[in-house]
Structure 1
Amino acid sequence: MSEAITIRRVGMNEAMACVDALADVLIDCVEGGASVSFMWPITRQTAVAFWRRVAEGVASDERILLIAEGGEGRIVGTVQLITAQPENQPHRADVAKMLVSRSARRQGVAMRLMAAVDEAARDAGKSVLVLDTVTGGDAERLYERSGWVRVGTVPNYALMPDGTPCGTTFFHKQLVPLTSS
């Protein structure tokens, strides 16, 4: 039986306190082969510096940070919503760094994070979301099951952590505002 998972938004005061735990998740994912902008071996210094920049973005209200916590409050997953967009795109946000620790996969954590990111986007007044992912990976199927629409694929767009070229598939999602009854 899997442990209870809680999904929640991290505010600006807490984001910096989560940096080390988020670095653990990032390192685990990159070590496991996830193409999420980092090469293996990723240093702890690199991972911590990345999450500090994310925390600064949360503090400046440029992004929303969601975390998934397992037993005893251990962070096992995360996703970001980048809300700072050009002035002609105030209705749009980018979904970034959807990460789940290998030990917490196949337990519905990613689906719950994606549902939470939809809710956070609506709360922020966003109606168009975009993201990209490795072509042919598990995340592609996750996004399709979550209602995302495939836009297209760019071959050799990025590198896997081991340096192997990989294609990237782009998705969008049009959010319909929730109506209260």
Structure 2
Amino acid sequence: MTTVRLDAPGLLACVEGLADLLLDTVHGGASVGFLASLDRAGAVDWWHGRAAGVAAGRLAVWAARDGDRVVGSVGLAFPDKPNSRHRAELVKLMVHRDARGRGLGRALLTTAERAAAAAGVTLLHLDTETDSPAEHLYRTAGWTRAGVIPDYAADPAGTLRPTTLYYRRIAAG
């Protein structure tokens, strides 16, 4: 497996694989901001919409590939305000159901953390569905739980679920 940081043309070149990953994640029940009604066109459009943020440096995206197939991704969203340049949000950590259980989620998390440190980021934050497998990953990877917000977002089935906020201090590289 290889993991690469995508520039805007690279993201657009693998948008079909990224869309497949997003669809698998949502249809597998993970709460990553979409409802189960997400279709292929919607997934492709969503990824196309990320290219401008990548080109502008507001978003960094990594894709993990197994051969030609995208099996994982993770992103860092960088704030544009001067008082928040020291932090970033970890977004859309996804691992295809067929690739789970092999440490890919943790490897993607580590990739994002190291890249954040290299960029001078000293604080990362994220939100994840409470009691989800992703929450277990963040907790065991050393992230600190900040709290829970009830009824924060709908899961793919449309049921309102709580979300847990996490943060992690990192040493700038």
Q: Same fold (TM over 0.5)?
A: yes
Structure 1 residues 10-31: Cα deviation after superposition (integer angstroms, max 9, x where no partner): 1222111111110000000110
Q: Which amino acid aligns with 2:9?
A: N
**Offset at 1:84?**
3.1
Structure 1 residues 29-55: Cα deviation after superposition (integer angstroms, max 9, x where no partner): 110111111001211111111101112
Give the TM-score of the pair, scaled to structure 1.
0.92
User: 5+ unaligned residues in a row in structure 2: which ranges?
Assistant: none
Q: How many angstroms apart in 1 are the aligned matches of 2:53 and 2:172?
A: 25
Structure 1 residues 58-80: Cα deviation after superposition (integer angstroms, max 9, x where no partner): 1111111011111x231100010
Q: Which amino acid aligns with 1:108?
A: G
SS in 2 for 1:172: strand
Indicate which of 132, 146, 150 corresponds to 2:141: 146
What pairs up with 1:26-175 in 2 under 5 angstroms?
Answer: 26-70=22-66, 72-175=67-170
Q: How many residues align?
A: 173
Find runs of 4+ consecutive structure 1 residues off by over 6 angstroms. none
Q: Which amino acid aligns with 1:152?
A: G
Q: How many angstroms apart in 1 are the aligned matches of 2:68 and 2:40?
A: 21
Cα-Cα RMSD: 1.1
Q: Which amino acid aligns with 1:86?
A: K
Q: How many angstroms apart in 1 are the aligned matches of 2:140 and 2:4?
A: 22
Structure 1 residues 117-149: Cα deviation after superposition (integer angstroms, max 9, x where no partner): 011101221111000000001111100111110
Identical-pair percentage: 39
Q: How many angstroms apart in 1 are the aligned matches of 2:80 and 2:17?
A: 28
Preserved contact between residue 121 and residue 172 of structure 2 (Cα < 8 Å): no
